[in-house]
Amino acid sequence: MAGIVELLPKEYGYIILTIAAYYFLNLYMQIQVGKARKKYKVFYPKLYATEADTKDHKIFNCIQRGHQNSLESVPMFFVFMMIGGLKHPVICTGLGLVYTVARFFYFTGYSSGDPKARFPIGGLNGFALLGLVIVNIWFGVSLLRA
C-alpha cells in the first residue's frame, strides 16, 4: 500500500473525499425516491408511475427521473475524477464539488414537479463534467508528449 501512496499526489485525498461526498448525495436521492414510492404508492418493480397508478404520477416521475439522470452520468464522473485527479487533483476536486452541489440543485429542482426547475444552478453540473473531460484530455495529451 505504501508504494501506491507514494505514487499519488498528496492532494489526491481530495479526490477520494469528493467522491465520498457524492455517495452521500446519492444516498439522499435514494431516500427521497423511497419516500416518494411510499407516498404515491408506486411500488417495485415499477420504475415510473402512470396516471392509472396515482394522480400524482408527474411529481413521482420527476423525483425518480432526477435520481435516474444522476445515476446515468455518475460512472463518467467517477472515472474522470479518478484519472484526471492523478495529474490535476485540485482542479478536479473543484470541478467535482461544483458537480456535486449542482447535482443536488438539479435533483431538488426536478423533484419539485417542474422539470424546468432543475436549472439554472443544476445545469452547472454539465459544465463541471465538461471541465473534467477537458482536464482528462489535457492529461492524455501530456502523457503522449512525455
Mean pLDDT of all residues in 26-39 = 98
Residue 122 within a domain: yes
Cell numbers at residue 65, please?
Answer: 427521473
Number of domains observed in the structure of the chain? 1
The helix/strand/coil state of 83 is: helix
Report the pLDDT value the prediction gives residue 116, as an integer from 0 to 100.
92
Q: What single letter denotes the amino acid at residue 123? A: G
Domain containing 112 equals 11-145
Residue 1 within a domain: no
Q: Which pLDDT band holds residue 2 (cuts at 50, 70, 90)?
A: low
CB 111 within 8 Å of CB 63: yes
Q: Which pLDDT band holds residue 95 (cuts at 50, 70, 90)?
A: very high
Residue 3 within a domain: no
Predicted confidence (pLDDT) per residue in 37-75, tens digit: 999 999 999 999 999 999 999 999 999 999 999 999 999
Supply the CATH number for residue 93's domain: 1.20.120.550
Residue 77 within a domain: yes
